[in-house]
Structure 1
Amino acid sequence: MTYNRLLDALSAESYERLRPHLIPIHLTQGTSLHLPGDNIKYLYFPIDCLLSIITIMEDGATMESGIVGNQDVLGVSAFMSGSLPIRTEHVVQIAGTALKIDAEIFRRIFIQDQLLRQFFLKYTQAFIAQISQTSACNRLHSLEQRLCRWLLEAQARTESDHIELTQQFLAQMLGVRRAGVTQAAQKLQDNGLISYSRGHINVCDRPGLEANACECYRIVQEEYERLLFKK
């Protein structure tokens, strides 16, 4: 078991093709793995870290457009579009461990192994669903609902109730002012759903978070399960 759900869901034969090329790595919070204009040199399979795909506007404003954890891989464009440069920034949001693999090696195995190729094409469909749902969520739902969704995503993808993340960084991910995140987080804490101190958030009541979140978290999780993990 690698504790990355994608790798664990592969056939034994497909995983053995990848295994010799997977390199364990520790990722530090705030590190930029790729910048706009970069070519993808490595793909990353998170184990207990959390990565963000960040869209940057011309005025410098930022918004998280995708979240990558232990049921994901960072670097889809490496096998979907080859060596074309990306237009987003990829940032380590929560520190932890991952497995990385050279993009050229992964692309070669992707082309050669039909079962692996079919699986990662289904993953790409699930990830596009996540990005699309996140875009709609950012436009249509309240900050409190979006914060609940994000905390559920982070808890599920790191399998930890403890999240080390400053409110300033979280505000950048959600595309809002820090004061808004502070107010929303305080309301969640007053209702016993989370506890937080400087740089630390603890999920105290996951069912309560689910009840206060919008439908977006559930919809995305159901799509991942349907496409990738349903037995």
Structure 2
Amino acid sequence: MAPEDFARLEPHLEPIALQLREVVIAADAAVDELFFIETGMVSISTAHDERRIEVSLVGSEGLVGAVPVALDCTTTPHVHFVQLAGEALSIGRDALCAALAESPTLRRLLLRYVHSLIVQITQTAYAHASLSLESRLARWVLMCHDRTEGDELVLTHDFLSMMLGVQRAGVTLAIQNLEGAGRIRAKRRRIEVLDRAKLLALTNGSYGTPEAEYARLIEGA
């Protein structure tokens, strides 16, 4: 973000704590507040009959609530909830929209981020439709690893079953298979990444495209 654009936002940013499993944007509720993630992760998921399936992740690279606000929508059908506790900077919708109206460079940056997030969602659809459970798990582990300091990830089997859209028993078997191949080490409520290259080899192209788009459009801007 250009220094002059950050200066527009800075007076309106409020530090907040992100609590595990906290819903920061509810389905079909007004998106009045957005969140720049400092640490932690927020999941964007579909919700039907109390069942959630994750469609994308936002960490310190992104802005929670970006899609509906950038596209001038007041609500979203997706649930945004904290998958990994941390900290964020919140900003009101009106303050962000005022800054976007004043700054073409800030609006362009936000739309580029929205594009990269949409690419991530389409890759998730491809993974769910085409890949084995182990491949999908490898992709999510890599994505979480990108957004976490160190090699240990706080990922419970319950969260993983939601992320992958499968029963908990399937997650347990997939973790055992990845661990047996030396890709990860499973611990209580944690997964340690041992070999990213081996995980990447399992993803069949479902990991890498959104990351490359983000690097090209945001980091290279």
Fold similarity call, TM over 0.5: yes
The answer to whether the Cα contact below 8 Å between 2:25 and 2:65 also exists between their aligned partners in 1 is no
The answer to whether the Cα contact below 8 Å between 1:193 and 1:209 also exists between their aligned partners in 2 is yes
CA-based RMSD: 1.4
In structure 1, the partner of 2:219 is 229
Aligned length: 220
- Secondary structure in 1 aligned to 2:39? coil
Q: Which has the higher strand share?
A: 2
One-letter amino acid matched to 2:9 = L
For residues 158-169 of structure 1, what are the structure 2 equivalents within 5 Å?
158-169=148-159
2:2 paired residue among 2, 11, 27: 11
- 1:42 & 1:96 partners in 2: Cα distance? 17
One-letter amino acid matched to 1:30 = R
Identity of aligned residues (%): 35
Q: Using the TM superposition, give the Cα deviation of residue 173 of structure 1 relative to its aligned residue in structure 2, in angstroms.
A: 1.6
1:36 paired residue among 27, 31, 45: 27
TM-score (norm 1): 0.90
Q: Using the TM superposition, give the Cα deviation of residue 158 of structure 1 relative to its aligned residue in structure 2, in angstroms.
A: 2.4
- 2:183 & 2:13 partners in 1: Cα distance? 37
TM-score (norm 2): 0.94
2:96 paired residue among 85, 88, 106: 106
One-letter amino acid matched to 1:127 = L
Q: Using the TM superposition, give the Cα deviation of residue 17 of structure 1 relative to its aligned residue in structure 2, in angstroms.
A: 1.0
Residues 25-75 of structure 1 deviation map (CA, whole Å, 9 limit, x = unaligned): 221111111211211121111122111111012x43321111111111110
Residues 82-140 of structure 1 deviation map (CA, whole Å, 9 limit, x = unaligned): 4x221111110111112211111111101111110111111111111111111111111
- 2:203 & 2:156 partners in 1: Cα distance? 21
For residues 124-163 of structure 1, what are the structure 2 equivalents within 5 Å?
124-163=114-153
- 1:114 & 1:125 partners in 2: Cα distance? 16
The answer to whether the Cα contact below 8 Å between 1:79 and 1:106 also exists between their aligned partners in 2 is no
2:179 paired residue among 177, 181, 189: 189
Q: Mind listing any 5+ residue stretches in structure 2 that lack a counterpart?
A: none
